[in-house]
Amino acid sequence: MEHQDAAKKLSELGHTTRLAIYRLLVKSGPEGLSVSDLQAQLDIPGSTLSHHISRLVNSGLMVQKRQGRVLLCVACFPALMDLVNYLLEECCTTPDQGSNGKS
- List pLDDT tens digits, range 7-38: 999 999 999 999 999 999 999 999 999 999 99
Q: Average pLDDT of 35-63?
A: 96
What values do phi and psi take at 23, rounded to 5? Answer: -65, -40
CATH of the domain at 49: 1.10.10.10
Is 98 within the bounds of a domain? no
What values do phi and psi take at 100, rounded to 5? Answer: -100, 5
Q: Provide the pLDDT confidence category of residue 94 given band limits of 50, 70 and 90.
A: confident
- How many domains are there within the chain? 1
State the chain's mean pLDDT as an integer: 92
Distance separating alpha carbons of residues 86 and 97, to the nearest angstrom: 21
Give the largest Cα separation in the chain, rounded: 57
Domain residues for the domain of 37 are 3-79
